[in-house]
Structure 1
Amino acid sequence: MIKKLWLILCTALIIAGCTACGQAANVQTETTEMESVVTGNLVALAGMDDAAVDMQIAQYESGTIDETTAVLIETLKNWKTVHQEAGDYISCGDVKVTRSGNEITGSVRGDFTKRDVDFSMSFTKDLSELKSMTLNPVYSIGELMKRAGLNTLMGMGTVFTVLIIISLIIYAFGFIGRHEKKKDEIPAPVIVPETTDEDLSDDLELVAVIAAAIAASEDVPVDSLVVRSIRRRTSSNRWKNQ
């Protein structure tokens, strides 16, 4: 019985060892394939000028665009911008292969005449489908700080501009309020009652009579008398019989 258990245990260990060897060999194969794929694609991209890139994009867009084709089109468009910053390709370092879940990613830093570029490709675990492809220029710490400072200044400038515009709008509201207040304070027009011309002929006759009487009593000529005003009293003065 003990001998049988020992044989079973030995058999299990041998099978486990063979499986581990097979997995290790498989991992090594995947790593080697990823290194070749990543390096080959970086070199291929670096050798394409803008005309070749545009031609390749047009070729991809003329057919059926699946997930892999969409990734390739986006990478080609990105390369046109990166190429201007990076310059011409010189060489690349070692490919770093990482695995996460059902994806395997290979990344490498390319050496260019103007600026290094980090290049990476992600596939499904069996390398049957391309999931992503990225090209990122490498910036120094000084360049990153400069870009961050410029972004901060632009953000602050935008905020201050908005605040100034808001302040001007609020200031303008004050003028609008004053204008409306002035409109409310305009007095209503005063209605002047219409005046009717009075018949002064009787008054002139009365003046002549009074002037003649005064001239007779004072023994002065009538022409020397001057009537300065005549006021007609409309009050209720009544003659009373004594």
Structure 2
Amino acid sequence: MKKRISLLIGALALTLSFTGCGSKKELEYDETQLTYVTQFIIANFEVMDEEAFDNYRQASEYQINKIMSEANAPIEPEVLISMMDAWEAAEKECGEYVEHGEYQFEGSDSGVVVSTEAVYEEREATLEFKFDENLNIESLDIAADYTTGEILKKAGMNTILGMGTVFLVLIFLAFVISLLKYIPMLQEKFTKKTEKNKTPVKEVPKAEVPVVEEELTDDEELVAVITAAIAAADESVSDGFVVRSIRRRKSNKWN
């Protein structure tokens, strides 16, 4: 019996030792240093106007690193610019910053989160400053606090806008579909108009070549005279000539 109890105690101790080795230790940090960095950011952002924010955005990394080094605040230039954007967005949403409460620290093996409740002119908000495992600040998140009524109102407005947009699109599509029946009519009308505007091609009549009919004269006396004249000119006998046709010339002039 004692042997079994000792075995159980040994197994339990071994299990606890493995559990202790597997768990990660919480990051050690100095609250005073984190409070200094957090307060440095809030105090400077509170008094800066839009022109001052723009000057930081236009500054070089060397200038920003020099300013942060002199202030003993290890903040990277890109992180500082992102926090400025978050601060300005919060003031547009919640109004001008007024004050904040006490800081709350929440550490883990990967970093530390410093949070505080801030009061703005229009509503309250939660500020969260996140530090990495090297205790360098990573980001600033500002979440505005809305009441249940405001959340429901905002959700209702989003629902109405979404449904309204869908209905408007459906109405527009129905209107477009209703116009499709006029397309064949317009196409037919356009085709008729095109055919009407076409200039008809006039056929050029072919010129008829007048057929000149030969006027044949069967005048035996005229034939005899012509035959005799030819025979006298050639000093031959007229029996060898045969007159097949006689054609009248249009001109009486001799060529």
Structure 1 pair 80–90 and aligned structure 2 pair: CA distance change class (3 A): closer
The within-5 A match list for 1:99-110 is 99-110=107-118
Q: 1:78 aligns with which of 82, 86, 89?
A: 86
Q: Which runs of 5+ in 1 are unaligned?
A: 1-22, 185-242
Q: Residue 38 of structure 1 aligns to which amino acid in structure 2?
A: T
Structure 1 pair 108–54 and aligned structure 2 pair: CA distance change class (3 A): same
Structure 1 pair 44–183 and aligned structure 2 pair: CA distance change class (3 A): closer
Q: Residue 91 of structure 2 aligns to which amino acid in structure 1?
A: H
Asked if structure 2 preserves the Cα contact closer than 8 Å seen for 1:86 and 1:113, the reply is yes
Partner residue in 2 for 1:116 = 124
Q: 2:166 aligns with which of 150, 156, 159?
A: 159
Q: TM-score, normalised by structure 2?
A: 0.52
Structure 1 pair 177–96 and aligned structure 2 pair: CA distance change class (3 A): farther
Task: Please report how far the alpha carbon of residue 169 of structure 1 lies from its aligned counterpart in structure 2 after TM superposition.
Answer: 1.7
Partners of 1:124 and 1:80 in 2: how far apart?
24
Asked if structure 1 preserves the Cα contact closer than 8 Å seen for 2:103 and 2:115, the reply is yes
Partners of 2:78 and 2:179 in 1: how far apart?
52
Q: 1:94 aligns with which of 79, 92, 102?
A: 102
Asked if structure 2 preserves the Cα contact closer than 8 Å seen for 1:92 and 1:108, the reply is yes
Task: Please report how far the alpha carbon of residue 117 of structure 1 lies from its aligned counterpart in structure 2 after TM superposition.
Answer: 2.5
Partners of 2:41 and 2:166 in 1: how far apart?
44
Structure 1 pair 89–179 and aligned structure 2 pair: CA distance change class (3 A): closer
Task: Please report how far the alpha carbon of residue 54 of structure 1 lies from its aligned counterpart in structure 2 after TM superposition.
Answer: 1.6
Partners of 1:183 and 1:56 in 2: how far apart?
65
Larger Rg: 2
Residues paired across the two proteins, number? 162
Partners of 1:178 and 1:44 in 2: how far apart?
72
Partners of 1:64 and 1:37 in 2: how far apart?
15
The within-5 A match list for 1:108-187 is 108-127=116-135, 129-179=136-186
Aligned-partner SS, 1:125:
coil
Asked if structure 1 preserves the Cα contact closer than 8 Å seen for 2:115 and 2:129, the reply is yes
Asked if structure 2 preserves the Cα contact closer than 8 Å seen for 1:93 and 1:110, the reply is yes
1:11-49 deviation per Cα after TM superposition (whole angstroms, max 9, x unaligned): xxxxxxxxxxxx89x83x433332332233223212212
Structure 1 pair 115–62 and aligned structure 2 pair: CA distance change class (3 A): farther
Aligned-partner SS, 2:55:
helix
Partner residue in 2 for 1:189 = none
1:33-83 deviation per Cα after TM superposition (whole angstroms, max 9, x unaligned): 323322332232122122222222222578799x93223212213322322
Partner residue in 2 for 1:32 = 32
Structure 1 pair 169–63 and aligned structure 2 pair: CA distance change class (3 A): farther
Aligned-partner SS, 1:164:
helix
Q: Residue 46 of structure 1 aligns to which amino acid in structure 2?
A: E
**Segment drifting more, 54-63 vs 97-106:** 54-63
Q: TM-score, normalised by structure 1?
A: 0.54
Partners of 2:167 and 2:76 in 1: how far apart?
45
Q: Residue 146 of structure 2 aligns to which amino acid in structure 1?
A: Y
Q: Residue 142 of structure 1 aligns to which amino acid in structure 2?
A: G
Partners of 1:55 and 1:75 in 2: how far apart?
15
Asked if structure 2 preserves the Cα contact closer than 8 Å seen for 1:87 and 1:115, the reply is yes
Q: Residue 97 of structure 1 aligns to which amino acid in structure 2?
A: F
Q: Residue 35 of structure 2 aligns to which amino acid in structure 1?
A: E
Partners of 1:44 and 1:147 in 2: how far apart?
33
Identity of aligned residues (%): 26
1:120-167 deviation per Cα after TM superposition (whole angstroms, max 9, x unaligned): 11121121x332212232222222222111111111111111111211
